[in-house]
């Protein structure tokens, strides 16, 4: 029984592994771009609520969405072969993203951290605190843009 | 020996200059920080639109040494300058390149910035007039040419240091007081109230146009909009 289970698990994990490995670069770029674009929608929603009439539930939804994507392991989408090319449009990632692992970790860590914090602050419904945290989160987006997004 | 001096830079020119210094410095700092400071980056950009527009009118209608025609670097003037034979006041023919270069680059910076976006949460006030792709292209130019602008400002400062240390000429003081000491020549004239009014009106109109306040209000974010729970 245990042996069968182990075989089953092994084959599942192999299949999953190979599914990732076989992802087309074009698809990987599309997933990346979709993730960032979706976060951008949610950033705009938070901004609209902070600048206009504040709706706590809306901000929570938006912040949770950003948190989920930030923690989703999107780094896995930067597969070999996806350094250049077209997803929904041409990728603007710089080649250094694929070589400078430390540099990526340095900008990605704070981003995830601030995205988590954003969700926490959104839950409080404190508009002023949300605005401040929104700014901090935006700075960590910029951290990666400045370093790893081409012009 | 006292007395000999001439009135070089009129007050509007000086105010323009120092306001531009503050706004450009502020724009550079705020964009480095990003986040909520981007709002201020945008505001400073609009202020610079006003300043540059003002200066363009003042370059035609302002007083003597503020006029573009007075310091436009013609080949003759340049040749004389390099032979050491140029005698004049105000911007010298080489410095004139720096003036026109700075004005053009700053105009390009604000012009492209109006249509730019940062892929985070900030859009230039006129960004909605163009598509995202073109906005991205302009944003790239905006970013790249800022380096050129900073380089030109450094050159400008370097030239001032060179004049102070090597040629023993203080360029900063006239830009503060308006007066150039120990010089003979005609003081600046012209640039009266009418010219000032016209320049201010043009500047205000330019800021209004650049602010996008005339654009129809964007459709998103009507009051209390709620998304469904799926």
Q: What is the pLDDT of residues B117-144, one digit of tens each?
A: 999 999 999 999 999 999 999 999 999 9
What is the tally of structural domains in chain B?
A: 1
Residue scoring higher pLDDT (B185 or A58): A58
What percentage of residues in chain A have a pLDDT greater than 70? Answer: 86
Model confidence at B30: pLDDT above 90: yes
Q: Domain containing B59 — which CATH number?
A: 1.20.950.20
Rounded to whole angstroms, how far apart are CA atoms B68 and B66?
A: 7
Instruction: Please report whether residue B218 resides in a domain.
Output: no
Give A16 to chain B, closest Cα distance, Å: 28
CB contact set of A139 (below 8 Å; sequence gap of 6+): A114, B33, B34, B35
Cβ–Cβ below 8 Å for B221 and A48: yes
- Which of B2-6, B69-73, B110-114 is the least confident region? B2-6
Model confidence at A9: pLDDT above 90: no
Instruction: Please report whether residue B3 resides in a domain.
Output: no
What pLDDT score was predicted for residue B1? 41
Rounded to whole angstroms, how far apart are CA atoms A45 and A62?
A: 7
pLDDT band for B217, please (50, 70, 90 cuts): confident
pLDDT band for B31, please (50, 70, 90 cuts): very high
Cβ–Cβ below 8 Å for B118 and A142: yes
pLDDT band for B221, please (50, 70, 90 cuts): low
pLDDT band for A2, please (50, 70, 90 cuts): low
Q: Where are the alpha helices (DSSP H) in B34-186?
A: 38-61, 68-71, 75-82, 93-113, 132-165, 172-177
Give A92 to chain B, closest Cα distance, Å: 10
- Residue pair B3/B181 in contact (Cβ under 8 Å)? The answer is no
Give A5 to chain B, closest Cα distance, Å: 36
Model confidence at B192: pLDDT above 50: yes
Instruction: Please report whether residue B55 resides in a domain.
Output: yes
User: What region does B185 belong to: left with phi over 0, alpha with psi -120 to 50, or beta?
Assistant: left
What pLDDT score was predicted for residue A21? 56
Best residue in A114, A138, A143 for a mutation probing chain B (most B CBs within 10 Å): A138
Q: Which residue has the tokens 């074009």?
A: A26
- Residue pair A127/A135 in contact (Cβ under 8 Å)? The answer is no
Q: Chain A partners of B136 at a C-beta cutoff of 8 Å?
A: 92
Q: What average pLDDT is seen over chain A?
A: 90
Model confidence at A10: pLDDT above 50: yes
Rounded to whole angstroms, how far apart are CA atoms B164 and B94?
A: 17
The whole-model pTM stands at 0.87
- Residue pair A68/A124 in contact (Cβ under 8 Å)? The answer is no
Rounded to whole angstroms, how far apart are CA atoms B37 and B156?
A: 27
Rounded to whole angstroms, how far apart are CA atoms A55 and A109?
A: 29
Model confidence at A7: pLDDT above 70: no
b (16+ CB within 10 A) / e for B147-156 = eebeebbeee
Report domain extents, chain A.
Answer: 24-148
CATH of domain A24-148: 1.20.120.10
Instruction: Please report whether residue B2 resides in a domain.
Output: no
Query: What mean pLDDT comes out for the span B79-85?
Result: 91
Instruction: Please report whether residue B61 resides in a domain.
Output: yes
Domain of residue B85, residue span: 8-185+196-211
CB-based contact (8 Å) between B131 and chain A?
Answer: no
Instruction: Provide the 10 A C-beta neighbour count for residue B206.
Output: 20
What pLDDT score was predicted for residue B226? 78
The C-alpha angle with vertex A9 and arms to A5 and A10, in degrees rounded to 5, equals: 115
What pLDDT score was predicted for residue B229? 80
- Tokens, residue A63: 């912040």
pLDDT in tens, B148-168: 999 999 999 999 999 999 999
Q: What average pLDDT is seen over chain B?
A: 92
Q: Chain B partners of A142 at a C-beta cutoff of 8 Å?
A: 34-35, 118, 120
Instruction: Please report whether residue B149 resides in a domain.
Output: yes
- Residue pair B62/B10 in contact (Cβ under 8 Å)? The answer is yes
- Which of A23-32, B45-54, B87-96 is the least confident region? B87-96
Nearest residue to A145 via CA among B27, B226, B116: B116
Give A60 to chain B, closest Cα distance, Å: 11
- Residue pair B99/B73 in contact (Cβ under 8 Å)? The answer is no
Model confidence at A118: pLDDT above 60: yes
**CA-based Rg of chain B, rounded to a whole angstrom?**
21
Report the DSSP beta bridge partners of residue B181.
B5
Query: What mean pLDDT comes out for the span A138-151?
Result: 94
Model confidence at A76: pLDDT above 50: yes
Query: What mean pLDDT comes out for the span A104-118?
Result: 97
Distance of CA B123 to the CA centre of its chain: 21
Query: What mean pLDDT comes out for the span B61-89?
Result: 92
Instruction: Provide the 10 A C-beta neighbour count for residue B133.
Output: 10
- Tokens, residue B96: 């004139």
CB-based contact (8 Å) between B34 and chain A?
Answer: yes
CB-based contact (8 Å) between B224 and chain A?
Answer: yes
- Residue pair B110/B210 in contact (Cβ under 8 Å)? The answer is yes
Q: Which residue has the tokens 């960590």?
A: A140
The complex's ipTM? Answer: 0.80
């Amino acid at each position: 029984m245990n042996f069968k289970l182990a075989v089953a698990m092994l084959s599942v994990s192999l299949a999953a592994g190979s599914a990732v490995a076989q992802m087309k670069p074009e698809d990987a770029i599309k997933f990346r771009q979709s993730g960032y674009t979706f976060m951008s929608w949610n950033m705009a929603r938070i901004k609209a609520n902070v600048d206009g009439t504040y709706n706590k539930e809306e901000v929570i939804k938006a912040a949770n969405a950003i948190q989920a994507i930030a923690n989703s392991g999107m780094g896995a989408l930067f597969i070999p072969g996806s350094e250049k090319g077209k997803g929904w449009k041409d990728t603007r990632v710089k080649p250094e993203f694929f070589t400078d692992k430390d540099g990526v970790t340095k900008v990605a860590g704070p981003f995830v951290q601030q995205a988590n914090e954003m969700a926490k602050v959104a839950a409080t419904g404190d508009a002023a605190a949300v605005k401040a945290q929104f700014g901090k989160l935006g700075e960590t987006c910029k951290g990666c843009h400045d370093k790893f997004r081409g012009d | 020996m006292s007395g000999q001096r001439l009135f070089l830079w009129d007050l509007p020119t000086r105010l323009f200059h120092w306001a531009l210094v503050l706004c450009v410095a502020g724009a550079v700092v705020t964009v480095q920080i990003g986040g909520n400071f981007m709002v201020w980056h945008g505001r400073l950009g609009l202020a610079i639109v006003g300043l540059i527009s003002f200066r363009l009118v003042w370059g035609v209608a302002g007083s003597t040494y503020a006029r573009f025609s007075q310091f436009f670097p013609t080949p003759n003037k340049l040749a004389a300058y390099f032979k050491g034979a140029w005698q004049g006041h105000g911007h010298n023919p080489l410095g004139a390149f720096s003036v026109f270069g700075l004005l053009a680059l700053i105009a390009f910076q604000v012009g492209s910035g109006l249509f730019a976006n940062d892929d985070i949460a900030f859009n230039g006030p006129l960004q909605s007039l163009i598509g995202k792709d073109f906005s991205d292209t302009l944003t790239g130019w905006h970013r790249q040419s800022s380096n050129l602008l900073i380089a030109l400002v450094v050159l400008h400062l370097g030239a001032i240091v060179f004049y102070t240390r090597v040629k023993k000429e203080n360029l900063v003081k006239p830009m503060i007081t308006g007066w150039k000491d120990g010089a003979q020549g005609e003081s600046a004239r012209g640039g009266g109230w009418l010219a000032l009014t016209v320049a201010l009106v043009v500047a205000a109109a330019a800021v209004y146009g650049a602010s996008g306040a005339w654009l129809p209000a964007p459709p998103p974010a009507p009051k209390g909009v709620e998304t469904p729970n799926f």
